Amino acid sequence: MDQEQQVINRILMESRTIAVVGMSSKHDRPSHEVAQYMQAHGYRILPVNPSYAGTRILGEQCYATLAEAEAAMKKAGGRIDVVDCFRKPEEVGTAVDEAIAVGARAVWMQLGVVDEEASARAAKAGLDVVMDKCIKIEHMQLR
């Protein structure tokens, strides 16, 4: 097993809470489908999208920012393990910087999302990083 696969397996086995940045309330969007699948497999989902802040998606409160989501998790005695980024490649750097700031354990950039500079910043800060892979597909393969 290569190093990237070891990181993926560790993230999926050790994580419990996934903040989904760019999550949509629309059922036909990939972010919603992926989050719904992960939730059905025991992960806590925290929707993060300023367009839906204050509403509920998949039964969970949606937050405008990762900082708001992390504050709510701390208040409840938890933390964000994974920041799953459904953002355009040119916008993902901001989400990565926020993930570093809130002390997430890992950053996951979905299929088609690659930002080498943001990845390097996250790795330097001690976060595990996965790029250009779908967390749902990887979870299905692990099972």
For 60, phi then psi, to 5°, come to -110, 145
**The pTM is what?**
0.96
Residue ranges covered by each domain of the chain: 3-142
Question: 3-142: which CATH topology?
Answer: Rossmann fold (3.40.50)
Nearest to 114 by CA among 89, 84, 88: 89
Residue 70: strand, helix, or coil: helix
Q: Is the pLDDT of residue 98 over 90?
A: yes
Going by pLDDT thresholds of 50, 70 and 90, the confidence category of residue 142 is: confident
Q: Is the pLDDT of residue 143 over 80?
A: no
Strand partners, 85: 21, 109
Q: 6: burial class by Cβ within 10 Å (0-12, 13-18, 19+)?
A: exposed
What tens digit of pLDDT does each residue of 44-89 get? 999 999 999 999 999 999 999 999 999 999 999 999 999 999 999 9
Distance of alpha carbon 57 from alpha carbon 133, whole angstroms:
23
Nearest to 31 by CA among 142, 122, 113: 113
Q: Is the pLDDT of residue 110 over 90?
A: yes
